[in-house]
Amino acid sequence: MSSCENPNTDKDALMTRRQKFDGQTKICVKCKQNTGNVVVRYAVYCKSCFFLLVQTRFRKVLEPSINAVPDEPRRKALRAVGSLVIGFSGGTSSTALLDLVAKTYFAPRTIGDAKDDAALKGGKDHPRNAEKGIWKGNPAVCYVEVCGAFPGEKDRIEEIREVVGYAGKPFEYIPLRLEDAFDPNWWDRIGGGNIGTSARILGLDLSDEGLRLVHSSSNLNPHDALRMYLSSLPTQTAFYSAIQILIRILLLHTAASRKASHLVLGTSLTALSVNLISGIAQGAGFAVAEEAKEEWNPRPEQGIKVRVLRPMKDIGMKECAIWDWWNGLREHGRGKNAIGALTRDFIYGLESDYPATVSTVARTCAKLTPKEGSNGVCIMCERPAQHGVQGWKARISIRSYHEASSAVSGKSRPPHLTEDEISNLTKFPVNSSSATSNSASLTARLCYACHTLLTSRSSRGTSSNPAGNSSDVPLPLWVHPTIGSADAGNPVDNQGEADEGTRSVKLSRKDMESRIADFLLPDSE
């Protein structure tokens, strides 16, 4: 078999693949007694020690963040200020998360069981503390059905209801649909806030990169509004990223409506690494820390601060699959495409060949911090937004011929166009600038990732898009209260700064010479 390696490279400098199992170590590394049943990151574990390993990692991530104030070295009793909501997708790690939460914190305890009484020694494990419970009220399992975004996709709400039923009596099942993001009835039901009449009829013009807000004349039902919003997005990556944003915000608002203090998600170590790299690739590097742990502040009238936790972030996808298999749990996962799928395949390959690399990706990204502070919250994804996004993006991006200043001169000039032709193409049209300045824009209120999601360009769109749809696109309901009725027809306060960066165009050589002709000294003979 031929090799593609460099023959001139030192063999010792090459990264050789380490064997997952040497074939000799058959005893569990934890108990040193039982024969191993599974290999986890080059270590052999028996079945009982594997269960203990997963539960320990799960509690180590979750419990320090349960109390309102992080635990000190001497831990107090676990007591949350609100209820618990579990975001459930039906996938491998999500199924394991639900089972772990049910068995660890909501398992029925037999009264008078000597073994259980001996396990509860004292302090935070004292029987009186165990009877009170950690979270207030009953826990809820929230599932967002996304079949409305995919024609012909099966509705799995009832299947997930059966899965949640296996977890036990305390859990309440809350089914949601992706189109609820455009349903005023759902918004009123969760107490999302009052939306003025003028704000309800606002739409978004995606045909203009200024993202102008327009008065919408269409009266669509939630399902059609969702399909129109997704089909208007420019790329497949934007399509799937928008779905993830809608799911996340739906879960957050549902948690806030239940006065929940914690929203736990089943993001495994493998999925976390995928999300981190995929988010950075799509421009969400400023909020990369939010992928591992975040605190979401709802509107004052909605409820308390929601702490979003991912207790499975130290447990790989392989361990989650083994947990589900040995506990007889069913999975109802669904695949995804675009940049996220490419990153997922890459990370899955790393986990298969070099398991330690996946945890290294997550730990490295956890150390990343932005150099500058936040400039508020993005009204689309409701995550921190950096300052000066549009001015910076205008300096590094070529969005159209009107901004193709680098093509005016030099070797990068297209061979079929002359310098004067390119100069004419790059002149900013007067009508476009006046139209942008006379209407409100969403640009200044978005983070870099969401602005890129709405304005990115590709040779292939998301689907066949009827003509005219992109000029009147409905917006998710949580965007409307932030915009307010006063924005309709009025320019955004700091839009001028962004427009200045967008309208800067490099002049041709002849234009530059004509402008500085009066200041040039005559050539000496």
Q: What is the mean pLDDT of each run of 10 residues along the chain (525 residues)?
A: 52 54 74 87 89 94 86 69 92 92 82 51 54 82 92 89 85 94 89 65 77 78 91 87 93 93 91 85 84 84 85 91 91 58 69 73 78 80 81 64 49 55 49 47 86 74 46 85 52 38 55 78 69
Residue with tokens 């009025």: 490
**267: domain range?**
78-109+121-525
User: Looking at the structure, do residues 49 and 146 belong to the same domain, yes or no?
Assistant: no
d(Cα 181, Cα 249) in Å, to the nearest integer?
Answer: 8
pLDDT at 109: 61
220 domain-assigned: yes
pLDDT at 12: 54
User: Looking at the structure, do residues 178 and 280 belong to the same domain, yes or no?
Assistant: yes
User: Looking at the structure, do residues 277 and 222 belong to the same domain, yes or no?
Assistant: yes
Q: Which helix (H) or strand (E) holds 84?
A: strand 83-88
The 3-state DSSP class for residue 261 equals strand
User: Looking at the structure, do residues 45 and 97 belong to the same domain, yes or no?
Assistant: no
221 domain-assigned: yes
User: Looking at the structure, do residues 504 and 437 belong to the same domain, yes or no?
Assistant: yes
Radius of gyration of the chain (CA): 28
5 domain-assigned: no
The whole-model pTM stands at 0.77
70 domain-assigned: no
pLDDT at 505: 52
User: Looking at the structure, do residues 401 and 355 belong to the same domain, yes or no?
Assistant: yes
User: Looking at the structure, do residues 320 and 252 belong to the same domain, yes or no?
Assistant: yes
pLDDT at 515: 77
User: Looking at the structure, do residues 155 and 298 belong to the same domain, yes or no?
Assistant: yes
Residue with tokens 């041709």: 508
d(Cα 44, Cα 30) in Å, to the nearest integer?
Answer: 8
Q: What is the CATH number of the domain that holds 177?
A: 3.40.50.620
User: Looking at the structure, do residues 59 and 178 belong to the same domain, yes or no?
Assistant: no
14 domain-assigned: no
- The residue type at 51: F
Encode pLDDT of 300-359 as tens digits. 667 789 999 999 999 988 899 999 999 998 877 655 544 556 666 777 677 666 777 777
12 domain-assigned: no
pLDDT at 141: 95
User: Looking at the structure, do residues 60 and 148 belong to the same domain, yes or no?
Assistant: no
375 domain-assigned: yes
Asked whether 341 and 329 are in contact (CB, 8 A), the reply is no
What total of structural domains would you count in the chain?
Answer: 2
- CA angle, 293 then 297 then 301, to 5°: 155
User: Looking at the structure, do residues 230 and 140 belong to the same domain, yes or no?
Assistant: yes
pLDDT at 430: 39
13 domain-assigned: no
pLDDT at 247: 94
d(Cα 181, Cα 447) in Å, to the nearest integer?
Answer: 20
User: Looking at the structure, do residues 128 and 49 belong to the same domain, yes or no?
Assistant: no
